[in-house]
Structure 1
Amino acid sequence: MNDNISNIDYQEVIEYSLDPLIIHTDYRIIYINQAAEKFFRTKNDEVTGASPLDIFQETSKDAIRKRIQSAYGKPADVIEETIYRMDGTTVDVELYCHPIVVENKKAIQTYVRDITERKETEKKQREMIKQINELSATIVPLISEVAVLPLVGKIDEEKAHLLLEIVPEKVQQQNISRLIIDFSGVYTIDNVIIDHLFKINSVLSFLGVRSIITGLRPELAVTATNLNIDLSSIPTMATVKDALSYLGIKLNV
């Protein structure tokens, strides 16, 4: 294949590509395809000679400049960036570039892929997970100054961090002095997570809150022991009912 961009076969390939393509050399745009014209809301002759750096935010330009320079030697990794269209609007994109030769001169061909929809979906998923995690950190008041924190489902690192942040704040807001942390609904946990969860007890102790652990399965207790977590200082009961009895609270059944 002829390396010259005027070669009709190569020009047709890039012209009818569904992805916006930008070809530039020495930080000057020499060509964009139809998809790029539509995406950037401009025309090829309007951006020819402009710097490809112009589409980037100021905070990204130094890194992009270095990325372009290195891409003359080998293809660059795919990255995500927020860039500007010609009308000033911003859009989240994936960028991939690699070296080509245009009229016997090294150039860069950059692929631009709009990921706005994907980013929005990811944002909604994160918000939904956060809401679910916050619900799972609900502290249920039982009587004055006594409450239970029922842990349910799979506890991953994100949820463990969230519990460590939220629980101390909630016990202070609700004026709780004794908190029953119930593990009976937890079915999946690992070493890193159980370490985080037992840190909650340490934080609560500094706040003057006494913790009681219930529903701790044998395998979780073994994991805690292997992590050198001393359970002897934390009252441990089989059920929430046992914990209430330990506290001298009788349930009317």
Structure 2
Amino acid sequence: MSENISEVDYREVIEYSLDPLIIHTNNRIIYINQAAETFFRTNKEDVMDKSPLDIFQDSSKSAISNRIQAAYDRPAEIIEERIFRWDGTEVDVELYCHPVLLGDTKAIQTYVKDISDNKQYEKRQQDMQKAINELSATIVPVLDEIGILPLTGKIDQDQAAQILEVIPNKVQAQSISYLIIDFSGVYTLDNVVIDNLFRIYNVLSLLGVQPIITGLRPDLAVEATSLNMDLSSFETMATVKEALSSFGLTANLDSA
């Protein structure tokens, strides 16, 4: 009697669980719960005996098939995938598979978690970070052929790589011959970032642009030296004003 009650309770638990659940064996779906019907926009009758691989993109099917075979013996790690609902719409999910025994038959129980909102949030964050990185790589034109690249805040590896990627194109598009790279607003750099930023100097020189580094604090200079960078080969000045005065511009700018 207790075994029958346990079996009924178990079936009710998975049937009314809020998490979509699919049970399949020998590449055939043999059960989905109500949450899965709602999530996949289908019903039990329409998916019975269908292949669980039908929800996956063609590029993923081979790997998923191997994963399913392995899951008959041990639980599989949670993975992220973009899958198809039965109405053809796509959705990002986490999948967790583990083996179950139905009488003498081995089967796979697969839990599905919708992570679309998380993915959209990550995309918004990435877009925002990209915009910030673009802003960090903004050249301020001073006069013809002279521009300033003001670096501010904490420059991380992504921002440094973005600057290295876009600045060469920007100096050419803006016909910059002299670029003042100002570090005075930077408060944190690590070794990898310093290496990327100083590559900009070499790239600009190869393009015929004269870089001038300003605002390089002693601690940043020490960090650069520890990377075997010979600062004596770079043109450096204490401030942007000093760099502009070397072009005879400060008097003109002060009176403007």
Say whether the fold is shared (TM-score over 0.5).
yes
Structure 2 counterpart SS, 1:211: strand
- The within-5 A match list for 1:3-22 is 7-22=7-22
* Unaligned runs of at least 5 residues, structure 2: none
Aligned to 1:142: 142
Structure 1 counterpart SS, 2:245: helix
Letter paired with 1:8: V
Letter paired with 2:167: V
Aligned to 2:246: 246
1:168: how far off? 0.6
Aligned to 1:76: 76
1:157-196 deviation digits (Å, cap 9, x = unpaired): 1101100011111000000011000001111110000000
TM-score by length of 1: 0.95
Distance 2:168 2:190 in 1: 22
1:251: how far off? 2.8
Aligned to 2:113: 113
1:27: how far off? 1.1
Answering whether residue 181 of structure 2 is matched by residue 181 of structure 1, we say yes
1:36-87 deviation digits (Å, cap 9, x = unpaired): 0011111112211111001101110001001111111211111111111111
Aligned to 2:61: 61
Structure 1 counterpart SS, 2:162: helix
Letter paired with 2:125: Q
Distance 2:57 2:106 in 1: 26
- The within-5 A match list for 1:121-200 is 121-200=121-200
Distance 2:251 2:92 in 1: 57
1:247: how far off? 3.3
Letter paired with 2:179: L
Of all paired residues, the percent bearing the same amino acid is 65
Letter paired with 2:222: V
Letter paired with 1:195: D
Aligned to 2:43: 43
Distance 2:25 2:130 in 1: 45
Answering whether residue 234 of structure 2 is matched by residue 234 of structure 1, we say yes
Letter paired with 1:82: R
Letter paired with 1:100: V
Structure 2 counterpart SS, 1:132: helix
1:91-118 deviation digits (Å, cap 9, x = unpaired): 1111111111112221111111111111
Letter paired with 1:223: E
Letter paired with 2:142: L
Across the two proteins, how many residue pairs are aligned to each other? 251
1:115-152 deviation digits (Å, cap 9, x = unpaired): 11111111111111111111111100111101100001
Distance 2:132 2:184 in 1: 18
Compute the RMSD of aligned alpha carbons. Answer: 1.5
Letter paired with 1:104: D
Letter paired with 2:47: V
Structure 1 or 2: more helix by fraction: 2
Distance 1:218 1:161 in 2: 23
Distance 1:169 1:33 in 2: 55
